[in-house]
Amino acid sequence: MITVYRPPDYTTLENESLFSALTWLAGCARICIMGDLNLPGFNWDIFVYPQQHLYCLAADFICTHGLFQLVNEPTRSDNILDLVLCTDVLCCDSVSLHPPLASSDHHMVNLSISISIPNEKYSGNCNNIPDLARADWASICALMKSTNCHYATQYWEVFTNYQYYYCKLCSHVQEYWHYKSQTTSYSYKETCDKKLSYWKLYSRFRTNPHRIKYTTAAKKYSKAVMGYTSNKELRLIESNNNGKFYKYVHC
């Protein structure tokens, strides 16, 4: 998830630096970019824009990463300035406009976002996987509320604040969660998600870079599935359980 603002008086060099930074940030399969890029001349319904350097930069960035623009009503005067750009339209829902906040002349954009946190790649038998469904969240919340962080926000920089809160949260969570055993490898599920995401991009734009990304992801997915199946069958054989073996063969 990326938030961005591009001032209308940016120079050509500043615009190039901005989209270069966005390109670096948008390196994952699923991204969502929200903010005011000040592109009033962009017709998002038919994807038509003025043949100017700024608009060409924005269009190239959007097409390269397979982004969909979800705001379809003007957010300031008759222009759609505040944008929601995402690769997965299913992760953003109920996009609507609300009246401006305080003295702002921009409408607020309201939406629901579904965020999936990547799983660590556990494989084989593992006995230290956190069972967050059984965590004592009431105690975690109570500890977080009792933590006095007021002095930190007065003197520290943003990144230092983030590290402080993150360390506090981790220490509290680890104290009040339980652990469970897990035998499923998540790597093939992640490669499946990437394969599906790249297929959506390729099926929409039909460019050679998207085709290469899709074929590479498809090969990694096939290899991950074969590895997962082989490991599962090997564990089944090593368990020396005829009932499980029979059930697996005939399922």
Q: What is the pLDDT of residues 175-232, one digit of tens each?
A: 777 666 554 444 667 787 778 777 877 777 778 887 888 888 888 888 888 887 877 7
Separation of alpha carbons 11 and 149, rounded Å: 39
Q: Domain-by-domain residue ranges, the chain?
A: 2-113, 126-182, 187-250
- CATH class, domain 2-113, is alpha beta
For 63-86, the pLDDT digits (tens) are 888 899 999 999 999 999 999 998
User: Per-residue DSSP letters for 7-34?
Assistant: -TT--HHHHHHHHHHHHHH--SSS-EEE
Nearest residue to 43 (alpha-carbon basis) of 33, 23, 21, 58: 58
For 112-133, the pLDDT digits (tens) are 887 654 444 444 444 566 666 7
- Phi-psi region for residue 107, left (φ > 0), alpha (ψ -120 to 50) or beta? beta
218 to 8, 12, 86, 178: CA distances (angstroms): 42, 38, 22, 36
